[in-house]
Structure formats: structure tokens, C-alpha cells
């Protein structure tokens, strides 16, 4: 008996497939191209806003950490009043926030891919999916300011629009470098505290957990996008098939149960 060769599929693609299989369960009126585009546009917008919100909180954490830290404490002085808190607890909390930002980035990555694939399905002369979203009332849309355009009759002598679009894309990815650098800062500073023998054991445990969260954030994003080996889930395929039978009976059902 021949077995299907293992396929390499990323978790990102599996989540995208899960989105489409769920969408197919909706009413046919909800599963048109225009409605799918509307759903994905809103999903992408919300994902961007959520990720930017977390990045703003990360920036605030960085400012607090670099401006208030003195040794192993964060100190705030107001006139004659001074308050301090162990930096270990703040670093551990910031590491959890960093992990949530990693999950949010993966969510945004899937949303952007889903919309891009959906836009690629509508190939009509002179039709622009970005302008279509603008005409549908999408707020804060900058489609008319983007350099990419759809025109079958004219072509640039110099690839100006392609160059500007590529430069803009590089700029967007460059904005992620500080986010990654903050994760590295969290990891190194917590390791530094953890190796300090004068730090209480409770604080060392806190930074140990925080270091694990910071390291997990990098691994999470990497493994989420990395194609991984998969195989057929034979039992899942069989029982899902039986679910749709009127009586739930199949000629080989007793054999399958016996094998389980």
C-alpha cells in the first residue's frame, strides 16, 4: 500500500486554509468575492491597528527601562519622594507583552496574505482592488497615493513606480528592526540579572520566566512561518467522512474501530 509523501506546510498556511473552510460554511450571499474582500479588508485593518497598539506599548516599555533603571531597580523621584520597583518584575511583564506582539504579528501576516491572495483572483482589465476598497467606503485608505497602478495601454520607460513601491516595502520591514532589537534587549538584560548572585531568588525566577518568554517570541514567529512536515490524519479523514452520512454507517466502520 502506497502512502502519500509527507508535505511541508507552515502553520501560517494551515490557518489560512482554516479561514477559507470556515468561510465556505457561510451563506452563499456572504461568500462572494466582494463580500470576502470586505471581510478581509476589515480583518487586515484591525490586525494592523492591534499590532501598532502593541508596538506603542513596547516603545513605552523601552523608554521606561532605559530612563528609569538604576542597577537592578526602576526608580522614580518626584521632589522629595522616591519610589523603586525591582527591574526583574518589569522585564518579565514586558517579555509577556513582547510574546503577545509576536502572536499579533503572525495574525497580521496571515491577514495580509489572505487579502493579497483574494485580490489576485480578480483579474479584470482596468480594475484595481485597492480602488475598489476605496469606493466601498474604506476609511483611512491611501490607495490614490500608492504608485502601483493598473493600465494595459501605457508603460513607464523607467520603472519609477516599481522602485518606489519596493522602497516603501523595505521601509515597512525596516520598522520591524527596532521591535526585534527590543526583544534582544529584554533577553540580555534578564540574563544579566539572572546571573547576578546578589539578586533575590524570587526575582531571578521572574527573569528566568521572562527570558523564556522573550526567546519563545522569536521561536514563535520563526516556526509559524516555517514549512513543517505533515502527514495524512487517516482517522480524522474517516470520521469526518462518516459525519456526513445519513446514518453514520460505513461498510468498513467495524474494521476501523477495531484498528483503533
> Is residue 29 located within the same domain as residue 71?
yes
- Average pLDDT estimate for 131-148: 76
The SS3 of residue 167 is: helix
Residues 6+ apart with CB under 8 A from 109: 12, 224, 225
Residue 94 lies in a domain: yes
Pairing of strands 7-9, 81-86: unpaired
Name the average pLDDT for the chain.
85
Number of domains in the chain: 2
Burial (0-12, 13-18, 19+ Cβ within 10 Å), 127:
exposed
> Is residue 200 located within the same domain as residue 91?
yes
State which H helix or E strand residue 68 sits in.
Answer: helix 33-68
pLDDT confidence of residue 1? 40
Please say whether the beta carbons of 199 and 193 come within 8 A: yes
Residue 166 lies in a domain: no
Residues 6+ apart with CB under 8 A from 246: none
DSSP 126: T
> Is residue 54 located within the same domain as residue 181?
yes
The per-residue pLDDT for range 196-222, each reduced to its tens digit, is 989 999 999 999 999 999 999 999 999
Q: Which domain does 243 fall in, by range?
A: 235-260
pTM above 0.75? Answer: yes
Amino acid at each position: 500500500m502506497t502512502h502519500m509523501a509527507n508535505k511541508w506546510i507552515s502553520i501560517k498556511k494551515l490557518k489560512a486554509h482554516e479561514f477559507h473552510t470556515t468561510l465556505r460554511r457561510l451563506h452563499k450571499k456572504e461568500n462572494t468575492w466582494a463580500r470576502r474582500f470586505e471581510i478581509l479588508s476589515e480583518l487586515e485593518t484591525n490586525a494592523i491597528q492591534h499590532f501598532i497598539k502593541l508596538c506603542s506599548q513596547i516603545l513605552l516599555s523601552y523608554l521606561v527601562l532605559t530612563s528609569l533603571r538604576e542597577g537592578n531597580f526602576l526608580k522614580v523621584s518626584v521632589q522629595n519622594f522616591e519610589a523603586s520597583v525591582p527591574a526583574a518584575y518589569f522585564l518579565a511583564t514586558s517579555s509577556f507583552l513582547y510574546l503577545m506582539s509576536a502572536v499579533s504579528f503572525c495574525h497580521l501576516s496571515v491577514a495580509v496574505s489572505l487579502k493579497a491572495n483574494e485580490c489576485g483572483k480578480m483579474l479584470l482589465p482596468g480594475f484595481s482592488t485597492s480602488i475598489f476598497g476605496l469606493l466601498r467606503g474604506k476609511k483611512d485608505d491611501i490607495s490614490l497615493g500608492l504608485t502601483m497602478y493598473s493600465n494595459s495601454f501605457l508603460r513607464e520607460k523607467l520603472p519609477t513606480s516599481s522602485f518606489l513601491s519596493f522602497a516603501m516595502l523595505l521601509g515597512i520591514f525596516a520598522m520591524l528592526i527596532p521591535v526585534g532589537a527590543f526583544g534582544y534587549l529584554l533577553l540580555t538584560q534578564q540574563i544579566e540579572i539572572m546571573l547576578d548572585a546578589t539578586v533575590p531568588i524570587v526575582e531571578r525566577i521572574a527573569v528566568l520566566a521572562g527570558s523564556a518568554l522573550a526567546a519563545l517570541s522569536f521561536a514563535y514567529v520563526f516556526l509559524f512561518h516555517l514549512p513543517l512536515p505533515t502527514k495524512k490524519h487517516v482517522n480524522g479523514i474517516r470520521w469526518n467522512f462518516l459525519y456526513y452520512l445519513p446514518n453514520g454507517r460505513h461498510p468498513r466502520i467495524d474494521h476501523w474501530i477495531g484498528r483503533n
